[in-house]
């Protein structure tokens, strides 16, 4: 994302490129842009967050191609326009028929599908499947005009359950109320732009993004009052960040037992650029919404 929120509009692009759904104009003065379960018990069960194909985690700093299908809960949310399906956001498979994504990814003008088991968006891949939604539920307190109000979360009920495989697995969710320590090592994954104004990735990308705790992220020269305790920040070094097309995708953090938990849903970055120093990528903090997720599902 390279523009202010009020300028983020759908683009005419092929499936291999990422576009954002239309968003109403931003009236707040904050310079930001969206970057664009059974129950929680199921998503927290033994077996979630343990990919059969182990991801690359050897201190990867800059974004790199992920090992194919090593983040098997990652989905591509796509919308149809003029007979063409277009990637717009990421998301996380949290139950066989439920996907978690960002509220700002959803626009009622469009029809959507969820692609599971994908690594390369422009190739046919064994084990991948496109599924239409049965229902899309956006958080009732989400306000697209004021991103900093939070509640940037949505759930998508699939029209049919997926079959779990090496390519398709469930994400774990963190326990309710979990707050990550400063500098906790987490990984963002997605098909977003490789840098501000740069090309869209064909292959799923991953990057190490240490958490910036609320005390740090809310400093005046960071995000200040734009970040709430229902959010989690990661990055901020001016080098690695989420970008256009990463919206709705997961912030993956490994727990003490070795399982990966999705602690964040990519929400917004600075309007000054995706990789702006002391403006880390801001995510919806999943552990602040466990009750809401349970109620919806």
175 CB-near residues (< 8 Å, 6+ apart):
44, 287, 290
Q: Is 25 helix (H, G, I), strand (E, B) or coil?
A: coil
Q: Which fold has domain 5-296?
A: Thrombin, subunit H (2.40.10)
Measure the N-to-C terminal CA separation of the chain; round to a whole number of Å: 32
DSSP structural state of residue 5: G
Q: How far is CA 250 from the centre of its chain?
A: 4
Looking at residue 38, its pLDDT comes to 39
Residues marked active site are found at 104, 152, 247
Looking at residue 62, its pLDDT comes to 65
CB atoms within 10 A of CB 195: 17
Looking at residue 214, its pLDDT comes to 98
Q: Are 269 and 276 in contact (CB under 8 A)?
A: yes
**Number of residues that this document lists for the chain:** 297
**Domain range summary for the chain, segments of one domain joined by +:** 5-296
Question: For every one of its 297 residues, what pLDDT tens digit does the chain have, with 9 covering 90 and above?
Answer: 323 232 222 233 345 333 333 333 232 333 455 665 433 444 444 479 999 999 998 655 567 999 999 999 999 999 999 999 999 999 999 999 999 999 999 999 999 999 999 999 999 999 999 999 999 999 999 999 988 899 999 999 999 999 999 999 999 999 999 999 999 999 999 998 877 777 778 999 999 999 999 999 999 999 999 999 999 999 988 778 888 889 999 999 999 999 999 999 999 988 888 878 999 999 999 999 999 999 999
Looking at residue 93, its pLDDT comes to 99
């Amino acid at each position: 994302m390279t523009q202010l929120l009020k300028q983020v509009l759908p683009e005419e692009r092929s499936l291999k490129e990422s576009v954002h759904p239309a968003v109403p104009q931003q009236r707040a003065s904050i310079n930001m842009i969206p970057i664009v379960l059974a129950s929680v018990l199921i998503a927290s069960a033994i077996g979630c967050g343990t990919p059969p194909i182990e991801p690359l985690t050897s201190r990867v700093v800059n974004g790199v191609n992920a090992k194919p299908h090593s983040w098997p809960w990652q989905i591509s949310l796509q919308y149809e326009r003029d007979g063409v399906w277009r990637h717009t956001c990421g998301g996380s498979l949290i139950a066989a028929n439920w996907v978690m994504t960002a509220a700002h990814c959803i626009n009622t003008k469009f029809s959507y599908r969820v692609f599971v088991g994908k690594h390369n968006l422009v190739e046919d891949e064994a084990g991948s499947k496109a599924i239409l939604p049965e229902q899309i539920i956006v958080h009732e307190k989400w306000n697209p005009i004021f991103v900093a109000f939070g509640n940037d979360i949505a759930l998508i009920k699939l029209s049919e359950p997926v079959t779990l495989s090496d390519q398709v697995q469930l994400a774990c969710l963190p326990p309710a109320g979990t707050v990550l320590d400063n500098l906790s090592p987490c990984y963002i994954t997605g098909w977003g732009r490789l840098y501000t104004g740069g090309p869209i990735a064909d292959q799923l990308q991953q990057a190490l993004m240490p958490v910036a705790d609320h005390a740090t992220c809310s400093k005046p020269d960071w995000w200040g009052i734009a970040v709430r305790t229902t959010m989690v920040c990661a990055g901020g070094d001016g080098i690695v960040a989420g970008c256009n097309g990463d919206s709705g995708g997961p912030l993956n953090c490994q727990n003490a037992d070795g399982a990966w938990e999705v602690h964040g849903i990519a929400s917004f970055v600075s309007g000054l650029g995706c990789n702006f120093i002391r403006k880390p990528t801001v995510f919806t903090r999943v552990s602040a919404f466990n009750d809401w997720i349970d109620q919806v599902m």
